[in-house]
Amino acid sequence: MRRIISILMENQPGALSRVVGLFSQRSYNINSLTVAPTDDPTLSRLTVTTIGDDRKIEQIIKHLNKVVDVAKLVDLTEGSHIERELMLVKVKATGAQRAEVKRVADIFRGDVVDITPTMYTIQLTGTEEKLDGFIQALAGTTILEVARTGVSGVARGEKILSL
Amino acid sequence: MEMLSGGDMLIRALHDEGVDLIFGYPGGAALHIYDAIFNQDKVEHILVRHEQAATHAADGYARSTGKPGVVLVTSGPGATNAITGIATAYMDSIPMVVISGQVTRDSIGSDAFQETDMIGVSRPIVKHSFMVQNAEDIPAIVKQAFHIATTGRPGPVVIDIPKDVTDPGETFPYAYPESIKIRSYAPPTKGHSGQIKKAVEILMSARRPVLYTGGGVVLGDGSELLKQLARALGFPITNTLMGLGAYPATDPQFLGMLGMHGTYEANMAMSEADVILAVGARFDDRVTNSDVSKFCPNATILHVDIDPASISKTVTAHVPIVGPVVPVLEEMLEQVKASKIKIDAEALAAWWKKIDHWRERDSLGVTPAEGEMIKPQQVIQALYKVTNGEAYVTSDVGQHQMFAAQYYHFDLPRRWINSGGLGTMGFGLPAAMGVQLAFPDAIVACVTGEGSIQMNIQELATCKQCALPIKIVNLNNEALGMVKQWQDMQYSGRYSQSTYADSLPDFVALAEAYGHVGVRIEKMSELESKMKEAFAMKDRLVFIDVAVDPNEHVYPMAIRNGAMSEMFLSKTERT
């Protein structure tokens, strides 16, 4: 099952490599990974999406907790949560396709953030699934480049991940 | 405030941390630190002949004393040579602090001479690591490193120090912190009382219980409490390879070691148990065998460990208890004594009867060879006799290691020093150096083989320099015995690269070349008397080279992918 694990860790050199290294060392999957400092500059928030059965996820969480730089973590998929990913797509847009691409982008609530006479750059935010859906919807066009940030998220309601 | 250079600060911080002995080898990037060592006399430095030996010596020191071992090496090859010893300590949860020199800060990343990314290379085999960016940080980093290495589940910590940070030309204010708090690090300090209560209820109601305890009891200094608990319950107890000595081997409740080369009675008892209390043991594959679905399928598992990741990793625990061994066992013992549940004496008596029946099989019985040929098991039996069972025994890896574990009956913890998790050949001799330095008057025996000993043979020079009267007991079967045993059992006796009888050194002459005493034993009738003579040389290192039966196998031996009850008991018998 797909899980989103959000981690608060020391914003220190080497911390990220310890977390990433743990996944490769123990042969756990990383589907996506995002990391950036939080409002407290001494802390980074890292969000990783991974796949595994309950036993594997339990081990991943236990091992992540053992990493000395990891202060706190939560499996967002355990409760209701909000997840978002941002994607920039460069699509070939000439002739009749120009209007068609724009229409599809509008349906997905994407924004055209850059244009040239032959292409659009579209920015889209949403769940991983929605972003996948948009790429599928563009099947009839020529996608030139895709840049995705990976999933980030927070729990719904009053649940908070902080120190 | 006192002003010190980075190098002086480092050595002073070690002293303030209570370190009086470090093991190491100098080199370019560590020279400022070595100069700081020269200028003081509080921290003694032992010069090894290879950095791997420094780590194993520090490891042996740590295992025998319970205090952290400290290593100092230079950058590049010095650091990478230390890797095997760090991995060895990591696998067996040994507290260790390894300080490695590094190239100067401005040349990091430039492929400078003797540059290796030590933090990166060591990352998967350390509990934590620090790269020192500023000399002012040294006291706090040293304090944190020792705190992390010695608390929770212990392990090795690396401190990588660029050369310019230790520059004697620059000084900084020095103060060693009294205490340290790391917000992201909080190892458990006690077990969950509700879980302990639940475990005790199950334990008291058991009909066929077994206590299965491991290295965690030794590391957590829980032996005394374990003894009290086992005696209060009257249950049979088995130890893992790493846990030997945590419970007295000569006690009637002790079933011997369990696992791949465990006794018949220990493995049978595990296999038929209805309740297993695991303490500081991690259900390692040398215990469970490769197919865990066959492992004790009818048992309720109660698992005490300080590391939550060790619980339900391979075998699901029905009652997990996360916590340090001492407070958890204390609470268990109290609850056992206060429990309203009465142990079913009849069931327990029947269980012991069954166990005694298994014991009658005498799975460690040794059939003497015909004539003067010496069986390797007999060497360990002689060693046990000659040393009164009081020696610190270090070992390398292979058949001799298993024989030592099976036939030297350890009654005390921290006496059996071996590389269990990583299985590092070359561990025994340097580990014995660490033990002998910690206990100068103790008998320290290194049980080894002619394969393993050659992996760190150069340390005979260190032993000479430090006048260490270690006794090396070399079970010389002229081959890589355990490899050969597997080749006999699984590869139809095709001895691929496991024999070298034509090129073995004369170990007596070799020992003498290093300034030690060498003794060769070839006849069974001389085994005990010559061993006695060797051990009577209290102030000399004696290399005792014993020619043993080259065709002997270690038994019992678990059958691959089998259950705990499935073992070979000899070359011709299986369960």
* Percentage, residues of chain A above pLDDT 70: 100
CA atoms within 13 A on the CB side of B37: 20
Alpha-carbon distance B245 to B409, whole Å? 8
With CB atoms and an 8 Å threshold, state whether A163 touches B183.
Answer: yes
Residue B291: the pLDDT is 84
Average pLDDT over residues B334-362: 97
Predicted TM-score (pTM) of the model is 0.96
Tell whether A54 is within 8 A of chain B (Cβ): no
pLDDT at B209: 98
CB pair distance less than 8 Å for A66 and B184: no
**Token pair belonging to B537:** 């040389």
Structure tokens at A95: 């002739």
Chain B residues lying within 8 Å of A18, measured CB to CB: 123
Q: What pLDDT is stored for residue B217 in this prediction?
A: 98
Q: Give the mean model confidence (pLDDT) for residues B187-197.
A: 96
The answer to whether A9 faces chain B, any CB pair under 8 Å, is yes
Distance from CA of A97 to the nearest CA of B (A): 49
CB B386 within 8 A of CB B538: no
Cβ separation B184–A13 shorter than 8 A: no
Q: Are B265 and B358 in contact (CB under 8 A)?
A: yes
Instruction: Check CB contact under 8 Å for A9 and B312.
Output: no
Contacts of A59 in chain B (CB under 8 A): 309, 313
pLDDT higher than 80, residue B290? no
CB atoms within 10 A of CB B404: 30
For residue B123, give the nearest of A13, A18, A70 by CB distance: A18
A42 close to B (CB below 8 A): no
What's residue B297's pLDDT? Answer: 86
User: Under an 8 A CB cutoff, do A69 and B148 touch?
Assistant: no
Q: Amino acid identity, residue B434?
A: G
Model pLDDT for residues B295-332, shown as the tens digit of each residue: 988 899 999 999 999 999 999 999 999 999 999 999 99
Residue B386 near residue B535 (C-beta atoms within 8 A): yes
Name residue B435's amino acid: V
- Rounded mean pLDDT, B172-187: 95
Question: How far is Cα B115 from Cα B465, in angstroms, rounded to an integer?
Answer: 30
The answer, yes or no, to whether residue B515 has pLDDT greater than 80, is yes
> Once rounded to an integer, what is the mean pLDDT over residues B267-271?
96
Contacts of B312 in chain A (CB under 8 A): 55, 58
Pairing of strands B96-102, B156-162: parallel
> Are B161 and B132 in contact, with CB atoms under 8 Å apart?
yes
Give A140-150 pLDDT, tens digit per residue.
Answer: 899 999 999 99
Measured CA to CA, the distance from residue A75 to residue A3 in angstroms comes to 7
Q: Alpha-carbon distance B428 to B448, whole Å?
A: 7
Q: What is the pLDDT of residue B525?
A: 98
Residues of A in contact with B182 (CB under 8 A): 68
Contact at CB, A10 and B148, closer than 8 angstroms? no
Q: Which two tokens stand for residue B245?
A: 């000595």
pLDDT value at residue B289: 87
Q: What is the nearest CA distance from B384 to chain A, expressed in angstroms?
A: 41
- H or E stretch at B267: helix B264-272
Q: Which two tokens stand for residue B170?
A: 């620059």
Q: Compute the mean pLDDT over every residue in chain B, rounded to the nearest whole number.
A: 97
Q: Does residue B1 surpass a pLDDT of 90?
A: no
Element at B449 (helix H, strand E) = strand B444-449
Burial class (CB in 10 A: 0-12, 13-18, 19+), B269: buried
Sign of CA dihedral B75, B76, B77, B80: positive
Nearest Cα residue to A9 out of A81, A66, A85, A75: A66
User: Considering B131, B143, B144, B163, which one is annotated as catalytic?
Assistant: B163
- DSSP state string for B416-437: EE---SS--TT-HHHHHHHHHH
Say how many C-beta atoms besides its own lie within 10 A of residue B418's C-beta.
25
Closest CA–CA distance from residue B28 to any residue of chain A (Å): 25
Per residue in A61-70, pLDDT tens?
A: 999 999 999 9
Residues on chain A touching B309 (C-beta within 8 angstroms): 59, 62-63, 65-66
In the set B113, B133, B337, B532, the catalytic residue is B113
At B141, give phi and psi (nearest 5°): -65, -40
For chain A, what is the total number of helices (H) and then of strands (E)?
Answer: 4, 9
Retrieve residue B372's tokens: 């003067």
Task: Please report which confidence band the pLDDT of residue B81 belongs to, taking 50, 70 and 90 as the band edges.
Answer: very high
Taking residues A86-109, report their average pLDDT. Answer: 95
What is the distance between the alpha carbons of residues A143 and A124, in angstroms, rounded to a whole number? Answer: 14
Distance, CA of B97 to CA of B158 (rounded, Å) = 6
pLDDT at B204: 97
For B103-124, write each residue's pLDDT tens digit. 999 999 999 999 999 999 999 9
Q: Please report which helix (H) or strand (E) contains residue B329, including its range.
A: helix B325-338
For chain B, percent of residues with pLDDT exceeding 90: 98
Q: How far away is chain B from the Cα of A59, in angstroms, using its nearest Cα?
A: 6
CB B52 within 8 A of CB B81: yes
Task: Give the pLDDT mean for B18-28.
Answer: 98
Determine whether B163 is an active site residue: yes
pLDDT of residue B214: 98
Q: What is the mean pLDDT of residues A80-106?
A: 96
DSSP B47-65: E-SSHHHHHHHHHHHHHHH
Interface contact A13-B131, CB threshold 8 A: yes
Rounded to two decimals, the ipTM of the complex is 0.93
Consecutive H or E run containing B489: helix B481-490
Distance CA B10, CA A163 (A): 32
What's the pLDDT tens digit per position in B434-479?
999 999 999 999 999 999 999 999 999 999 999 999 999 999 999 9
Phi, psi of B135 (to 5 degrees): -60, -35
Per-residue pLDDT tens over the stretch B354-397? 999 999 999 999 999 999 999 999 999 999 999 999 999 999 99
3-class SS of residue A77 = helix
Q: What is the 3-state secondary structure (H, E, C) of B67-101?
A: CCEEEEECCCHHHHHCHHHHHHHHHCCCCEEEEEE
- Is residue B68 within 8 Å of B127, Cβ to Cβ? no
Report which DSSP code applies to B452.
G
Inter-chain contact A69–B184, Cβ cutoff 8 Å?
Answer: yes
